[in-house]
Amino acid sequence: MKWLKQQRQFVRSLLENDTEQRQAVATSWATLPYGIEIYRNNVFASLSSALKDNFPNTIALVGDEFFTHLAKNYVEHYGCNTPCVVDYGELFPQFLSEQAQLASLPYVSQIAYLEQKMRRCAQCPIDQQMLGLKDLNRLSEQQLTSIKFRLASHAQLLNSHAPVLSLYRFIQDQQQMPPDLLKPELVLLVKQVDFGVTLTPVSTGVFDFLNRLSSGLSLAEVVEFDSQNGSTLLLEAIGLDCIAYKD
């Protein structure tokens, strides 16, 4: 147990900002004071590299030098709480939204949120029991009021206060920069069989429809919630191939 405690103390010290404290830990390990700095630099380099791999579009917006600065601050503040660097940066979008240096660029954190959702979406298994138009035609009125549906596990919704999809397309394809960088966008993300993720802009009506469907309401109840447009929204949502049967 004493050895385990020392190991944990050493790991924590790698992210410690107090140089004297780090050197004290190094000395207790009978290590040269500069030895721990080598480990520390390697840790920071590895975690910063993981952030760069996970948020390439964010780098494209702010530049490599500034991103490296942000990554270093993030590592210092949050350390590492995951054994898999592929998932590193869980709180990075939130961290960006809190940076005073980015106060005039709120869309930067929104692109990071989009990248995070794309990564999560790509890691999810594709649902096999999906609701299609043929299935809808087979359902009786009683089934419509009893069977529950949900947003598919391989699909996610993003409510962004910035034009994230337009910005993403600008970065990827060098399309025209969105004229209004504060214009909200609602985006549906759906994983494909080739592990790619499609990004589709959706209306407020479809966005709310899918959220209500995942809240536990029956299909009939969701449609009745908007009696004027419910049926149209249902057909539009089914066409997006993102509705699955609830277990």
Amino acid 184: pLDDT: 94
pLDDT of residue 100: 95
* Residue 190: predicted pLDDT: 97
Q: Which residues contact 7 (CB under 8 A, 6 or more apart)?
A: none
Confidence (pLDDT) at 97 = 96
Query: Whole-angstrom distance between the N-terminal and C-terminal Cα of the chain?
Result: 45
CATH number of 124-247: 3.90.930.50
Cβ(144)–Cβ(220) below 8 Å: yes
Give the DSSP letter string of the chain. Answer: -HHHHHHHHHHHHHT-S-HHHHHHHHHHTT--TTHHHHHHHHHHHHHHHHHHHH-HHHHHHH-HHHHHHHHHHHHHHH----S-GGG--TTHHHHHHT-GGGTT-THHHHHHHHHHHHHHHHHSPPPSSB--HHHHHH--HHHHHH-BEEE-TTEEEEEESS-HHHHHHHHHH--PPPS-TT--EEEEEEE-TTS-EEEEE--HHHHHHHHHHTTT-BHHHHHHHTTTTHHHHHHHHHHTT-EEE--
The pTM of this model reads: 0.83
Adjacent-strand bridge partners of 245: 149
State pLDDT tens for residues 85-130.
Answer: 788 999 999 999 999 999 999 999 999 999 999 999 999 999 999 9
Q: What is the pLDDT of residue 17?
A: 57
Alpha-carbon torsion (3, 9, 12, 13), positive or negative: negative
Q: What is the mean pLDDT of each run of 10 residues along the chain (247 residues)?
A: 52 55 52 59 85 96 95 88 82 96 94 96 93 88 84 96 93 79 94 94 96 87 85 92 89
Q: 96: Cβ–Cβ under 8 A, 6 or more apart, which residues?
A: 58, 70, 102, 108, 109, 112
Pairing mode, if any, of strands 197-201 and 243-245? unpaired
Q: Looking at the chain, which residues constitute the CATH 3.90.930.50 domain(s)?
A: 124-247
Q: 67: how many CB neighbours lie within 10 A of its CB?
A: 21
pLDDT for res 206: 95
